[in-house]
């Protein structure tokens, strides 16, 4: 099967929709596009294409990554914030999708409900890319996996530990992606913040094929042998009212020097999707240490997003 042809015209909503080979193809393409950009070489695969960037939630990395990736490959990006269009308010998502699909060649959506991005994909008739919903954050996982490949040379068999709020979009996407790609994933969180059982079950199904091991626990000692420790903010966008409760619940799960040393490995790296609240989920010391690859991940958002657009829309 020609993976390249198989991705044309498809939407990118969650890694559930892609085979391990297809995910690896996008990662390899991203590495290739990154190497070219470092040499000053950009492409024309998206020349003449117009891309709508829909944002219900603000963003630094996602907006900048899609914008620069579009321009690098010759496309025109059009930013549409929550005050620019009537998505789901004065106009239904279905109708907005059909209008935008007539004018644009691809649509990025970053917002709250995963159902919104699914409707955009169903009714627009063009590739739709998920820049984050409350349920999944697949472009971030691609950036994380590219970063892991750059540090370790491979994905399969790596020990990835996610610690903190275990039921957010990052933990969900990490379970799905790791299960698919043979990465051993441990989610460490208080029981109140464990991922839903259906997500864990799906990840375990994928893991049966890939050989990945999946563990959900509230024991911090499970960081032992981690190749990478990953965390995210303790209070996700839209949950600000729960901040005090989360800090109380998650204080024992902070990534600090002691926790990094508990892995027993000198080469363990620290990862974060950003923005970070230093002093909460991670100490300034770990964030600024040579173990931290957070800005590599941030840059890799752009290279992997470019790969997704080139693979699904490019000539």
Compute the distance between CA of residue 142 and CA of residue 79 in angstroms, rounded to an integer: 23
Torsion, CA 248, CA 253, CA 257, CA 263, rounded to 10 = 170
Token duo for residue 137: 């954050």
Token duo for residue 305: 């997003």
Residue ranges for the known binding site are: 59-62, 86, 110, 137-140, 169, 232, 236-237, 273-274, 301
Token duo for residue 57: 């939630």
The catalytic position among 144, 232, 246, 303 is 232
For residues 268 and 228, the answer to whether their CB atoms sit within 8 Å is yes
Residue ranges for the known binding site for L-ornithine are: 169, 232, 236-237
Q: Residue 257 catalytic? A: no
Q: Residue 140 catalytic? A: yes
Q: Residue 301 catalytic? A: yes
Compute the distance between CA of residue 160 and CA of residue 229 in angstroms, rounded to an integer: 6
The catalytic position among 63, 114, 246, 301 is 301
CB neighbours (10 Å) of residue 197?
9
Q: Residue 10 catalytic? A: no
Question: Tokens 């914008």 appear where?
Answer: 67
* DSSP 8-state code for residue 87: B
Q: Residue 227 catalytic? A: no
The set of residues, in sequence order, having a beta carbon less than 8 Å from that of 1 and lying 6+ positions away, is 21
The catalytic position among 137, 246, 272, 303 is 137
Residue ranges for the known binding site for carbamoyl phosphate are: 59-62, 86, 110, 137-140, 273-274, 301
Residues with catalytic roles: 110, 137, 140, 232, 273, 301
């Amino acid at each position: 099967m020609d993976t390249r042809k198989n991705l044309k015209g498809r939407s990118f909503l969650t890694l559930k929709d892609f085979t391990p080979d297809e995910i690896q193809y996008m990662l390899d393409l991203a590495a290739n596009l990154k190497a070219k950009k470092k040499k000053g070489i950009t492409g024309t695969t998206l020349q003449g294409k117009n891309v709508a960037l829909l944002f219900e939630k603000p963003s630094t990395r996602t907006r900048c990554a899609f914008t620069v990736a579009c321009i690098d490959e010759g496309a025109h990006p059009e930013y549409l914030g929550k005050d620019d269009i009537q998505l789901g308010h004065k106009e239904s998502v279905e109708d907005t999708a059909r209008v935008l699909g007539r004018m644009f060649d691809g649509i990025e959506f970053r917002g709250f409900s995963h159902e919104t991005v699914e409707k955009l994909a169903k009714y627009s008739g063009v590739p739709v890319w998920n820049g984050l919903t409350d349920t999944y954050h697949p472009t971030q996982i691609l950036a994380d996996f590219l970063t892991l490949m750059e540090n370790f040379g491979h994905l399969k068999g790596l020990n990835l530990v996610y610690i903190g709020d275990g039921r957010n979009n990052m933990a969900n996407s990490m379970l799905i992606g790791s299960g698919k790609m043979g990465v051993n994933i441990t989610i460490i969180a208080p029981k109140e913040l464990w991922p839903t059982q259906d997500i864990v079950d799906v990840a375990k199904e994928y893991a049966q094929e890939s050989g990945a091991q999946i563990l959900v626990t509230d024991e911090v000692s499970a960081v032992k042998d981690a190749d990478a420790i990953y965390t995210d903010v303790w209070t996700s966008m839209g949950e600000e009212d729960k901040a005090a409760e989360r800090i109380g619940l998650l204080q024992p799960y902070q990534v600090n020097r002691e926790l990094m040393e508990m892995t027993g490995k000198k080469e363990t790296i620290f990862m974060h999707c950003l923005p970070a609240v230093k002093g909460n989920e991670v100490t300034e010391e770990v964030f600024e240490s040579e173990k931290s690859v957070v800005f590599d991940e941030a840059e890799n958002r752009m290279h992997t997003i470019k790969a997704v657009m080139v693979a699904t829309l490019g000539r």
